[in-house]
Amino acid sequence: MIAVSTFYLFTPLGDATPLRAPLLARMKELDIKGTITLAPEGINATISGAKDAVEAMVEYLRTMPQFKAITHRLSQFSTQPFGRSKVKVKPELISLGAAADPSICVGSYVAPEEWNALITADDVVTIDTRNGYEYDIGHFRGALNPATRTFKQMAAFTKQHLDPKKHKRVAMYCTGGIRCEKYSAYLLTQGFEQVFHLQGGILAYLEQTPEAASLWEGHCYVFDERVAVGHGLTKSEGVVMCTGCGRALFTGQHCPACE
């Protein structure tokens, strides 16, 4: 079995370029596949390999003071979901197209075991911060679908559909948590006072929540050859990736983006 690890950390790095070569060298030394993305605001990664090697890679990162606080989530897959080892340096880990700095402020974290009670409260609006096609194959019951094609559209969605005077308590979720970190920081700058996000994202919820008690409906899209996972982070059957644009589709479904 191949171990798959996901992690991110918003931490000021400045010029991250000098970190690229040593991280890539360590990945290749440990035969780790996948992608590590670096930016002035921090690190984001999904990597895979033998479990001991993945743990060694994470421990290597933790030897660096700026990455000491990294925590990661492990799942397993029968084959290697990535073909290459990559370390990218980008201007941002994820772009919202608006000012938002998670190193200054973020919303309140909500543990998976407390999530159901929050999103079923009458005064809470729950928002899916992922792309529309991700929502289409799976989402939390009652969550709003902003129907975005890119994360940058969340700022426009906010201005058109949300009001801090009306929406007093806003909950949000994404795959692993990174998009919510950025979006919750943005909402706080826009005057929203009570902002909550699912700690560890959908993946943590599906890993920890028994299916019988779950408010999750459908599948969770992941950005590798597994395409989607379900409860227990097992690969979902019946979900495929469009060879034209990479979006998730149900088996036999025609891609609306490529038609």
Which residues have a catalytic role annotated? 174
159 CB-near residues (< 8 Å, 6+ apart)? none
Report how far residue 48's alpha carbon sits from residue 83's, in angstroms, rounded to the nearest whole number.
10
The set of residues, in sequence order, having a beta carbon less than 8 Å from that of 50 and lying 6+ positions away, is 2, 3, 31
**Alpha-carbon torsion 235, 241, 246, 252, what sign?**
negative
Determine how β-strand 138-140 pairs with β-strand 169-173. Answer: unpaired
